[in-house]
């Protein structure tokens, strides 16, 4: 089997490498469905095996689409009652992802790689503080005579533009976009964490689909199709497993999992 680097030259991919990439895909699919940031498994794996960073980013985005489908499908019930917000978030995620994919082909990768650790730390803080922020917002709503689940126009606008910003980032680099989405929604919405996770899975799927389509259209020969196929198969399995078991976790357990994965991802990003 062969993979392609950014210049179009072919390089050998051993059977051991193929097994490692497939296993990384399973882990990434499960973590994406459960927490987000599965890219922090597959991206370093590809780079470690000698795949150039930009090729690894594009191949990873293409491969993880399959896992996104199984993860989003597994959480489909939690999406009920959220379409009044998703009708705004989905278009913004599509536009943002397209812009992010375009930037990947035009800007040096270090531009976003240097920003990721800062965003990840901020997101983890928001994830931990999410329940307190929601409780504060609930008290304010009740004091103002509004329903506890009321979402103001300001919150909705912040949610929509925050979705766009994360989608730009996701279309460019993808790593930790799930944690950023959970932090954004946890700070703005009076929702259960499992329902927010369902939205995160759906939006992440759309972002990966747009990015993958863009890469295939303009950089088909720069994608490692061996790696993308192996990640696709692995992430499809992992996405199903993550959604199946993740829906059973308590809010505190899911929040703890997000923080743990985020800290591991932060370490890996800083030591790449």
Contact (CB, 8 A) for 130 and 255: yes
Per residue in 231-253, pLDDT (tens digit) is 999 999 999 998 888 877 777 77
Average pLDDT, stretch 109-123? 70
Supply the pTM of this predicted model: 0.80
**Please, which pLDDT band fits residue 98 given cuts at 50, 70 and 90?**
very high
Per residue in 11-49, pLDDT (tens digit) is 566 888 899 999 999 988 998 888 777 887 888 888 888
- Looking up tokens 């980013």 gives 57
CA separation for the pair 43, 229 (Å, rounded): 14
> What are the tokens at 213?
């389509």
- Looking up tokens 């972002």 gives 207
- Looking up tokens 């992010």 gives 100
What DSSP letter does each residue of 216-265 carry, written as one string? HHH-GGGS-HHHHHHHHHHHHHHHHHHHHHHTTS-HHHHHHHHHHHHHHH
Between strands 2-4 and 10-12, the pairing is: antiparallel
Contact (CB, 8 A) for 240 and 16: no
Angle between helices 53-74 and 193-218 (to 10 degrees): 140
> What are the tokens at 75?
């959480």
């Amino acid at each position: 089997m062969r993979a392609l680097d950014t210049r179009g030259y072919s390089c050998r991919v051993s059977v051991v490498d193929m097994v490692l990439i497939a296993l990384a895909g399973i882990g990434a699919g499960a973590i994406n469905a459960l927490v987000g940031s599965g890219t922090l498994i597959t991206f370093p794996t590809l780079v470690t095996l000698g795949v150039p960073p930009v090729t690894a980013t594009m191949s990873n985005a293409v491969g993880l689409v399959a896992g996104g489908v199984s993860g989003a499908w597994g959480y489909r019930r939690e999406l009920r009652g959220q379409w009044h917000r998703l009708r705004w978030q989905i278009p913004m995620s599509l536009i943002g992802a397209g812009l992010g994919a375009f930037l990947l082909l035009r800007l040096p990768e270090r531009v976003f790689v240097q920003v990721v650790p800062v965003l990840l730390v901020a997101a983890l803080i928001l994830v931990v503080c999410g329940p307190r922020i929601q409780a504060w917002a609930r008290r304010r709503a009740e004091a103002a005579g509004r329903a506890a689940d009321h979402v103001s126009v300001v919150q909705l606008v912040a949610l929509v533009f925050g979705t766009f910003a994360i989608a730009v980032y996701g279309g460019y680099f993808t790593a930790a976009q799930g944690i950023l989405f959970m932090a954004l929604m946890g700070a703005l919405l009076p929702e259960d964490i499992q329902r927010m996770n369902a939205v995160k899975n759906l939006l992440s799927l759309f972002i990966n689909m747009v990015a993958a389509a863009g890469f295939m259209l303009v950089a088909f020969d720069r994608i490692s199709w061996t790696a993308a196929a192996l990640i696709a198969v692995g992430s499809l399995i992992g996405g199903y497993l993550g959604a199946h078991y993740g829906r059973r976790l308590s809010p505190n357990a899911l929040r703890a999992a997000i923080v743990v994965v985020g800290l591991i991802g932060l370490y890996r990003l800083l030591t790449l």
